[in-house]
Structure 1
Amino acid sequence: MMRNKVLSQLGLAQRAGKLVTGDDIVFKAIRSNQARLVFVASDASENTQKKFRDKCRTYNVPLVIGFTRDELGESLGKLDRVIVGVTDSGFASMMKNGLITLSEVEYIE
């Protein structure tokens, strides 16, 4: 299933040191043009989703909303994660290709 493939690619990016997590760190990565793709948990608050939707739109960073905080955390081998930023363009484009086909994921380019 493509959904699991994207989550395992997140895990690979984590092990390669190509991810940042947490509100402030991901915001900083977006502002400094280091974030290539941002994941926001589908069960994050409306406020958090809006904040990152607006920030990503302003800086032209693709945004994904559609995995739960548990799914994101589990893929990274950590406790639940609400915000994840991919800082490597190779990993980001690999994930984007998989995301385009997922209808239950909100993908904003």
Structure 2
Amino acid sequence: MDRLLNAFGMAYASGKVAIGEKLLDQIKNKKVLLVVIFADIGPSTLKKLEDKCKFYDVKVVKSDFTIDEVKSQFASKKVAAIGFNDVNITKLIEKNMNPN
């Protein structure tokens, strides 16, 4: 799990992510490859993101991390979902989310 948190932080620091309203715009423009949704996201936000990702054919993964657990990786911003727009970072995140 630490590797996954570090991967989130690395992606954020490199600018290869989209959060907030920018995430919705980048999903619409098909610039996001993967969206990770954190465990304690609100139901309306969850539905909005899932519907948007389904419509624009963007992969969605639900994480067991809570917003408070990951905010240290995002400069203390409360982030409910994060989109990744880099192929290599996306592969790293997927590998660490499914360590099989």
Residues 70 and 79 in structure 1, CA contact (< 8 A), matched pair in contact too: no
Mapped partners of 1:34, 1:73: distance in 2: 23
Q: Deviations over 1:49-96 (max 9, x none)?
A: 111111111112111222211123222232321121111111011111
Q: Work out the number of aligned pairs and report it.
A: 99
TM-score by length of 2: 0.87
Q: Which residue number in structure 1 is paired with residue 12 of structure 2? A: 14
> What SS does the aligned partner of 1:81 have?
coil
Q: Note the residue ranges of structure 1 that are not aligned, 5 or more in a row.
A: 103-109
Mapped partners of 2:77, 2:28: distance in 1: 26
1:62 aligned onto 2:74: no
Higher mean Cα deviation, 69-78 or 35-44?
Answer: 69-78
- Aligned equivalent of 1:91, options 55, 67, 89: 89
Q: Which residue number in structure 2 is paired with residue 106 of structure 1? A: none
- Aligned equivalent of 2:43, options 28, 41, 46: 46
Q: Note the residue ranges of structure 2 that are not aligned, 5 or more in a row.
A: none
Mapped partners of 2:86, 2:70: distance in 1: 17
> What SS does the aligned partner of 1:78 have?
coil
Mapped partners of 1:62, 1:72: distance in 2: 20
> What do you get for the CA RMSD once the two structures are aligned?
1.6
Deviation at 1:38, TM superposition (A): 1.0
> What SS does the aligned partner of 2:22 have?
helix
